[in-house]
Amino acid sequence: MTAVSPPPPVTAAAPPAPLPARRAGFTGRLLAEWTKIRSVRSTAWTLLIFVVVSLGLTGLLTWLTLHSLNNGKNGARDSGILTDPVNFILGTGLGLGQLAICVLGALVITSEYSSGTIRASLLAVPRRYPVMLAKALVFAVLVFIIGEIVAFCSFFIGAVLVNGQTYTLHGSVAGHAVTVHRTLSVSLSQPGVLRAVFGSGLYLTVLGLFALAIGGLIRHTAGAITAVIGMVLVIFPLAGLLPDSWGAHVHAYLPTIAGQLITQDKPTAGQLLSAWQGFGVFCAWTALLLAAAIFLLQRRDA
């Protein structure tokens, strides 16, 4: 009998070598930051409050002022709607609505520290600074788009209410009574108006980045929001009370004071900076604070 040799053992095919993991680039960081910002409910609610407050107050305060003006109340004449209706329209709703952008800018960064998700972000990006850059860029684009839409809508709401309104001024010249009739009219084609409306969106964008930088420095939600709103509403405006010419120069170069010049269609008396110079000063302040926030992000533990 011939011996039958057993069949050779079947060897399993070696599994394919895994592909080398690719590190997510800056585009991946942008997508990650966009996912984080839009998935947080506070973002949608804060932006909704910004839109409603800005547009609602623009229409309401403009209508109330015009109504008082038609009834001959002196307070309405002192509101500025007669001398500069564009600045009045842009300054009523957006002046209060900007606080929502301040809150959102601080929340974008401080909410990650309070929830602890910043640790996961920094583990994925050991160099850290791309996290802040991507967050700032995504947030700036979001605020710019929303801010420009709200700024133009605010202007058009105010223009509908203002255009065609006629008022009468009574005075005296050389002892003779004089009566002046004037009709209010605003449009984007007037000098400086388009720049002021578009500049309002730019101002809101940089203001949001300014608040984000403060949040990155303080890393505490309540503290960051208090600091930003305190500077915008209290500290910077009160600096205008500083005496002499040095006080006027200090006040003119403060961040939001300089930045708001781009939202005005006409220069004011004693204005030290042009609209674009003031906006450049605001951008410089914001860039400096963002650089400080990035530096501390590199140095401090999360």
| 142-153 mean pLDDT | 97
Q: State the virtual CA torsion across 196, 197, 198, 204 in degrees, nearest 10.
A: 90
Determine the pLDDT at residue 172.
59
| 47-66 mean pLDDT | 94
Q: What is the pLDDT of residues 255-300, one digit of tens each?
A: 999 999 999 998 888 889 999 999 999 999 999 999 999 998 888 7
Residue 70 makes CB contacts below 8 A (sequence gap 6+) with 165, 167
Task: Confirm if 207 and 256 have CB atoms less than 8 A apart.
Answer: yes
Task: Confirm if 104 and 210 have CB atoms less than 8 A apart.
Answer: no
Determine the pLDDT at residue 40.
86
Between CA 13 and CA 156 the distance in angstroms is 71
Task: Confirm if 94 and 151 have CB atoms less than 8 A apart.
Answer: yes
Lowest mean pLDDT among 73-87, 189-203, 237-251, 273-287: 73-87
- Residue 228 has φ and ψ, to the nearest 5°, of -65, -50
Average pLDDT, the chain: 85
More confident residue, 136 or 301: 136
Model confidence, pTM: 0.86
Determine the pLDDT at residue 128.
78
| 55-59 mean pLDDT | 95
More confident residue, 171 or 115: 115
Lowest mean pLDDT among 97-101, 124-128, 146-150: 124-128
> 114-146: string of b/e by CB count within 10 Å (b at 16+)?
eeeebeebbeebeebebbbbbbbbbbbebbbeb
Determine the pLDDT at residue 181.
67
* Residue found by looking up tokens 């990035």 in the block: 294
Between CA 134 and CA 119 the distance in angstroms is 16
Task: Confirm if 94 and 154 have CB atoms less than 8 A apart.
Answer: yes
Nearest Cα neighbor of 165 from 76, 269, 279 is: 76
Instruction: State the CB neighbour count (10 A cutoff) for residue 234.
Output: 10
> 189-217: string of b/e by CB count within 10 Å (b at 16+)?
eeeebebbbbbbbbbbbbbbbbbbbbbbb
Which uninterrupted H or E stretch holds 177? strand 176-183
Determine the pLDDT at residue 1.
45
| 70-92 mean pLDDT | 77
Class of residue 241 by CB neighbours under 10 A (exposed 0-12, middle 13-18, buried 19+): exposed
Q: What single-letter amino acid sits at 24?
A: A
Determine the pLDDT at residue 10.
52
Question: Does 108 have pLDDT greater than 80?
Answer: yes
Q: What is the pLDDT of residues 129-147, one digit of tens each?
A: 888 899 999 999 999 999 9
193 HSE (CA, 13 A, CB side): 18
* Residue found by looking up tokens 């009370």 in the block: 241
More confident residue, 126 or 230: 230
Nearest Cα neighbor of 157 from 47, 264, 55, 265 is: 55
Question: Does 107 have pLDDT greater than 80?
Answer: yes
Chain centre distance of CA 51: 12
Q: What is the pLDDT of residues 163-194, one digit of tens each?
A: 877 776 655 565 665 666 678 888 999 999 99
Q: Which pair of structure tokens corresponds to residue 104?
A: 């959102």
Task: Confirm if 40 and 110 have CB atoms less than 8 A apart.
Answer: no
